[in-house]
Structure 1
Amino acid sequence: MRVISLPRIGTVPAWRRHARALAAEGVPPGAVLWQLDAPEGAPSDLFAGAPAPEPPAPPVTLTLPREAVSAIETALHHSDPERFARTYGIVLRLARGDLRWGDRSDPALHRLLAQEKAVRRDIHKMHAFVRFREIGTPEAPRRTFAAWFEPDHPIVEPASSFFAKRFGDMDWIIATPTLTARFVSGTLSFEETRDTAPPAPDATEALWRTYFTHIFNPARLMVSAMTSEMPRKYWKNLPEADLIPEMIRTAPERAMGMIEAAPTVPPKRAEKLRRGNV
């Protein structure tokens, strides 16, 4: 039985290296136990649920379609503990020609593609709902910000390059329950999260809340669509979220006020009279 312990930072590249080496040795999926390194200070049970060994198989060179590589690496950021073993079996079958990429009739591949979609959605939500708060001092050469976010999956590494490109002129920290991303002087790094306390509100939060209330359009309110795009689980970490229930409650009254205050259009006859055409 091969026991492969993957690091919590750089998990996907490490899995890829091990998968290539194991395939080149002809190690079958059932002969490998994949696991993540235990968090700092936590005990690790190496052989819990270890599968029965399988006889060696012919060596395999992992050559996959580019779209398959991208989807597989995305899906490996899912929280499913079985993803490493399942994906190793899939890439072996793909490389041997026993499975066609995109064949959703295959249960394992169907699940991998569903998990890829879930991870992409989680990354999109992180990009949309991270809220930075300033923690630096005015005299510092670069402004410094911090944010707390709780994703469904371990997506900090693939999601953080977006923030590095968009906010490259400032230093920032994005902490999650497992990993923390740090961007300091243009360098992005990752570490295990030690402080799980969200950053304190900053001076711009009141301004943001005021802006949020002013761009809210009660006449176009669709609660189900709003909660689909902004699930309630994210609300506790959004400074504007506590305003939403009251805005929903008063939306009908505010929409009626907008209708009553709308300017009236003069009749066409009045315009003709103004122009002297009658």
Structure 2
Amino acid sequence: MITAAIEPTFTDWRDKARELLRRGVRPEDVCWEDATQGCGLLPENDVSDAVAFVTAEHMRVPPGFLSLASQVCAHTDERRFGVLYRLLHRLTLGGRRHLLSMPSDADTRQCQMWAKAVSREIHHMHAYVRFRLVGVDEETGREQFVAWFEPEFRVVRLAAPFFEKRFAGMDWSILTPDECVSWDGSELLFMPGMRKEDAPAGDAHDDLWRTYYRSVFNPARLKVQTMQSSMPRKYWKNMPETQSISELIASSQSRVTRMLETPERPLKPLPDNAYLRSLRGQASRPGP
């Protein structure tokens, strides 16, 4: 039995899986361990005595596998590395390159379920990260922001490119318990996880978030279960605007009643000028 103790990242799994596959090691002969959980103290068996080297031709993976693997590795299920290597072995040395198009296959289905859960968590991170202003760089004049987020899975590396593109004009850091990422305008820097106490407690932007949320909240369309489904409660504690949700829900019925009792406002006359008259004239002309 070979003990493969790795960091719980796609890069480490890929490098170790490539080495094992190159030597033809069977999935049932590998015990995958998370080195960050103290398992790195275990001796890692040498794979030099395994089967002879496999040619690069037999190690080629079908399109889509690496993308799937990167998401599966971001999950936290302790079985993920073993199942993923078994799928890789079957796709390559097993000669079953069609497995990714077979959702009925147990390994494929399990990996796709993990990937779907990770993809959903990436979306949640994109939607629910809230940056707080902590200062301004004196040399560059760039504002500096920090956010705290508690993802269910290890999705920081998968979610970071979105923030790099969206907030390229400011310096920012996203802190999570497992891993942190910072952007300085030129590159992404990944660091070990941190504690929530290291994140800023709040700033003036929190009031802006609360004001915005109150302004777009429509009591007439309130569906609490649907709201909690699209914005799970586990994220509320780190979002400033959610502090107003209980109050808004409690007052929703009275607000709807006031809306129904308020007389309709008279319609404003349409704006009128030469340019708008010319547009209306063009619209009224018959087509060719």
TM-score (structure 2 length as normaliser): 0.81
Per-residue CA shift, 1:236-267, capped at 9, x if unaligned? 0010111101111111111221222251789x
| Match of residue 167 from structure 2 | 167
Q: Are 1:189 and 2:189 an aligned pair?
A: yes
User: C-alpha displacement at 1:104, in angstroms?
Assistant: 2.3
The residue type paired with residue 104 of structure 1 is P
- Superposed counterparts of 1:9-24, under 5 Å: 11-24=9-22
TM-score (structure 1 length as normaliser): 0.84
Q: CA RMSD in A?
A: 2.6
Unaligned runs of 5+ in 2: 268-288
Q: Label 1:233 to 1:195 Cα distance change in 2 as closer, same or farther (>3 A).
A: closer
| Match of residue 269 from structure 1 | none
CA contact (8 A) 2:32 2:82 kept: yes
- Superposed counterparts of 1:1-278, under 5 Å: 1-8=1-8, 11-38=9-36, 44-46=40-42, 56=51, 59=54, 61-95=58-92, 96-98=94-96, 100-137=99-136, 139=138, 141-197=141-197, 198-263=199-264
CA contact (8 A) 2:99 2:108 kept: no
Classify the secondary structure of the residue corresponding to 2:101. coil
Deviating beyond 3 angstroms after TM superposition, the runs of 4 or more aligned structure 1 residues are 42-45, 55-60, 137-140
User: C-alpha displacement at 1:46, in angstroms?
Assistant: 2.5
CA contact (8 A) 1:6 1:37 kept: yes
User: C-alpha displacement at 1:6, in angstroms?
Assistant: 2.1
Unaligned runs of 5+ in 1: 267-278
Classify the secondary structure of the residue corresponding to 1:105. coil
User: C-alpha displacement at 1:185, in angstroms?
Assistant: 3.1
Classify the secondary structure of the residue corresponding to 2:181. strand
Higher relative CO (CA 8 A, sep ≥ 6), structure 1 or 2?
1
CA contact (8 A) 1:171 1:184 kept: yes
**How many pairs were matched up?**
258
User: C-alpha displacement at 1:75, in angstroms?
Assistant: 1.5
| Match of residue 273 from structure 2 | none
Distance 2:78 2:228 in 1: 28
Distance 2:136 2:115 in 1: 40
Q: Label 1:222 to 1:29 Cα distance change in 2 as closer, same or farther (>3 A).
A: same
The residue type paired with residue 170 of structure 2 is M
Distance 2:263 2:227 in 1: 26
Q: Label 1:221 to 1:262 Cα distance change in 2 as closer, same or farther (>3 A).
A: farther
CA contact (8 A) 1:5 1:36 kept: yes
